[in-house]
Amino acid sequence: MATIQPNIGVEYAENATIVSFTDEKILEEKDINSLQESIMSVIEQTEQINLILDFSNVKFLSSAVLGLLIRISKRIYEHNGRLRLCNIDPKIYEIFKITRLTKTFDIYKNIESATKDLSQAD
Amino acid sequence: MRFLKSVLLKKSRYKPIMTSKMPASYSIVVESKPSAIVSVFEQIRSKLIDNNFGKDDIFAIHLTLEEAFLNAVKHGNKMDPSKKITVEYSVDADKVEISITDQGPGFKPDAVEDPRFGENLFKPGGRGLLLMNSYMDMVKYNPEGNSVSMIRYKEKPYLTKNKDQQG
């Protein structure tokens, strides 16, 4: 089952909720705020959510999006859930490396490997 | 802009023959709102493409502009819509120079904490300056701290042939 909300696509797999960013560029504050609202509401809907954020469409983002990811991860951990990021473009992965956020976030190559990791963690 | 001028003068001193081909510098004054950077970046991007800058350069300059401009709007001009931001830039075959000046009181860049360590790693903000410093070859502030000047040199082409020979 797939539902489309502004700027994200949501898919429910067996042991995880997969949220895909639909925009190629994530920059504007109002977009980031609306993403935050949409994703937080997905987190609230599931108890102890296993959330996979799929970046395959994203080609550009700024540090404001990193702030959004940190707020999302805090909310998930408050709910005893798990967060995995995947399909990150090499240029964007570089931003994660520079800011050392590769140490904070669990980043996987694709949805498959992220899902596999979550099922092993269960 | 003092720094830009000194670089241009230096260049003309060493390469007097190039003086007539020296790149034009552009100065744009825009409204102090986040979306105002879009058209400024488009102008700079077309000059980068004209000068054969690659995708990595364009990505780096785009990111830096977003970060520096948002800092000017938010922290410099404090979201005051009556204030302005001045963007000056020049692009030539080797490098791009950009300066961004706001009408705020300025800040002390050295006082900004490193976002990569300790508690700061888990804070939502504070990564803009780190990204600017990482993606540009030079980042310098005026003494007041309300104007940042940056240079990025063009990425040299990747020499696949040499690597194969070595490897």
Q: What is the pLDDT of residues B98-151, one digit of tens each?
A: 999 999 999 999 999 999 999 999 999 999 999 999 999 999 999 999 999 999
Question: CA B18: distance to chain centroid?
Answer: 24
* pLDDT surpasses 90 at B167: no
pLDDT band at B12 (very low <50, low <70, confident <90, very high): very low
> Would B9 be classed as within a structural domain?
no
Minimal Cβ distance to A67: which of B63, B67, B124: B124
Minimal Cβ distance to B62: which of A60, A66, A74: A60
Per-residue pLDDT of chain A (122 residues; tens, 9 = 90+): 455 556 899 999 989 999 999 999 998 888 899 999 999 999 999 899 999 999 999 999 999 999 999 999 999 999 999 999 999 999 999 999 999 999 999 999 999 999 998 988 76
| ipTM given for this complex | 0.91
pLDDT band at B156 (very low <50, low <70, confident <90, very high): confident
pLDDT tens per residue across span B21-76: 567 899 999 999 999 999 999 999 999 999 999 999 999 999 999 999 999 999 99
Structure tokens at A15: 């042991």
The answer to whether the Cβ–Cβ distance between A98 and B124 falls below 8 Å is no
> Would B157 be classed as within a structural domain?
yes
Number of domains in chain A: 1
Answer for the pair A77, B135: CB distance below 8 angstroms, yes or no: no
Structure tokens at B77: 């001009």
Bridge partners, A12 (sequence order): A17
Nearest CA in chain B to A69: B124
Number of domains in chain B: 1
The per-residue pLDDT for B87 is: 98
Which residues in chain A have Cβ-Cβ distances shorter than 8 Å to B34? 28-29
CA–CA distances in Å: residue B54 to residues A108, B49, B91, B94 = 28, 8, 13, 12
CATH of the domain at A38: 3.30.750.24
Which residues in chain B have Cβ-Cβ distances shorter than 8 Å to A98? 130-131, 134
The answer to whether the Cβ–Cβ distance between B124 and A68 falls below 8 Å is yes
Share of chain B above pLDDT 70, in %: 82
Answer for the pair A86, A107: CB distance below 8 angstroms, yes or no: yes
Q: Which range marks the domain in which residue B79 is found? A: 26-116+123-166
The answer to whether the Cβ–Cβ distance between A98 and B62 falls below 8 Å is no
> Would B39 be classed as within a structural domain?
yes
Which residues in chain A have Cβ-Cβ distances shorter than 8 Å to B66? 27, 62
CATH of the domain at B131: 3.30.565.10
The per-residue pLDDT for B16 is: 46
Q: Which range marks the domain in which residue A57 is found? A: 2-121
> Would B65 be classed as within a structural domain?
yes
Whether residue B112 lies within 8 A of chain A, CB to CB, comes out as: no
> Would B52 be classed as within a structural domain?
yes
> Would B13 be classed as within a structural domain?
no
Which residues in chain A have Cβ-Cβ distances shorter than 8 Å to B134? 98
> Would B72 be classed as within a structural domain?
yes
